[in-house]
Copies of this chain bind each other. A is one copy, B any other.
Amino acid sequence: MKGLWVEVLRGGLVESRHRVHLAVVDEGGRLVSAAGDASFATFARSAIKSLQALPLLDDGVADRYGLTDPELALCSASHSGEAFHLAAAQSMLDKIGESESSLACGAHAPFHEPSARALRDAGEAPNRLHNNCSGKHAGMLALTRAHGWGVAGYHEAGHPVQRRMLEETSRWTGVPSSAISTGVDGCGVVTFGVPLSALALAFARLGAAAERGESGPARIVGAMVRHPEYVAGTERLCTDLMRAAGGRIIAKVGAEGVYCAGAPGAGLGIALKVEDGAKRAAEPALLGVLRALELISAAEYVSLARYAEPVLLNTRGEEVGRLRPVVGDDLDRLRPVVELESGGG
């Protein structure tokens, strides 16, 4: 693939343009496809929550506390704060004997607008369960409790649970722990910085391990694809893509324009980063790449067109533009990744 971009069209102009870096690799680490700088180093943010959930299986934590598949999917989620997400997070806390106040993540309003509105209308403030990362945090608390590590400061770099997360990230990405950059994520835990190609490798390996029937990866991948509504929520791409692809694709968004995906059957891992960090471009880019690699069908792409080529509406509700993924090396001659039939999008 040549340069990968997402254009913002309005009137007769490309009003804005997002540059996308992409790495597509197989389980052996071979770079199958790339755009921009495949070794662009960035923080994985929420895109690798599935890897961070694996110790719950490998260390017997899920069995010990009787964690269900939807709960494991929630551990891998940036959820929308809908009622069923909150219930699953609360259920995990109940099973491990912790409470909402034990979560180190801050509170924020649900991504799911009707849920956010209902909360406002009831005069209630969001709590930590509403944080899109509350499942991951509940999982980290479960790991902490099972190992008897002590809950205080579980989100901080020095804590055994975060050291374990670093080891897990190193194991799957193939990047030595000492070479992994660290920062603080939106929810307060450590986030890990690696090249895109290493993130793609992690997703290729996770998918391959699940395909081979390795118990931890198979359970996490299975939980995500069978309960995709727990990985994101209503009207969210991760959920709708995994549902549309019927188990062929695992997908997870990260903040600042990161998207990772795995296609276990095809033996591929995909990682992309919108250079400027825009979420609005990450979704079209991912779907463009999946279609270009024929990992989703034309019909599946069209069924997801509201994410792939979203329409821009103005304050009058009029359609004034749209986004679309494009490829090419010459900025004056970029061409659409997918030629939608008129009326698509």
Which A residues contact B (CB, under 8 angstroms)? 8, 10-13, 15-19, 41-43, 104-108, 120, 131, 181-188, 191, 193, 256-257, 274-278, 281, 314-318, 320-321
Contact of A181 among B12, B106, B186, B277 (CB under 8 A): B12
Q: Which residues of B contact A41 (CB under 8 A)?
A: 13
Q: Which residues of B contact A11 (CB under 8 A)?
A: 43, 181-184, 191, 193
Show 23 residue pairs from A and B whose CB-CB distance is below 8 angstroms, ordered by the A residue.
Answer: A11-B184, A12-B193, A13-B42, A13-B43, A13-B181, A13-B193, A15-B42, A15-B193, A16-B42, A16-B256, A16-B276, A19-B275, A105-B315, A106-B314, A106-B317, A131-B315, A184-B318, A185-B314, A187-B315, A188-B316, A274-B276, A276-B281, A278-B278
Q: Which residues of B contact A182 (CB under 8 A)?
A: 11-12
The 10 nearest A-B residue pairs measured at CB? A11-B183, A106-B315, A16-B277, A276-B276, A106-B316, A10-B183, A184-B320, A188-B316, A186-B314, A18-B276
A187 and B276 contact, CB distance less than 8 A? no
B188 and A315 contact, CB distance less than 8 A? yes
Residue of B with least CB distance to A155: B316
Q: How far is the CB of A292 from chain B (nearest CB, A)?
A: 21
| Chain multiplicity (copies) | 2
Q: Which residues of B contact A16 (CB under 8 A)?
A: 42, 256-257, 274-277
Q: How far is the CB of A323 from chain B (nearest CB, A)?
A: 10
Q: Which residues of B contact A186 (CB under 8 A)?
A: 314-315, 320
Q: Which of A131, A181, A314, A315 has the most chain B CB within a 10 Å cutoff?
A: A315
Q: How far is the CB of A232 from chain B (nearest CB, A)?
A: 18
Q: Which residues of B contact A188 (CB under 8 A)?
A: 314-316, 318
A250 to B29, CA, bound (A): 54
A187 to B317, CA, bound (A): 10
Contact of A108 among B18, B131, B257, B315 (CB under 8 A): B315
B17 and A276 contact, CB distance less than 8 A? yes
Q: Which residues of B contact A18 (CB under 8 A)?
A: 276
Q: Which residues of B contact A107 (CB under 8 A)?
A: 315
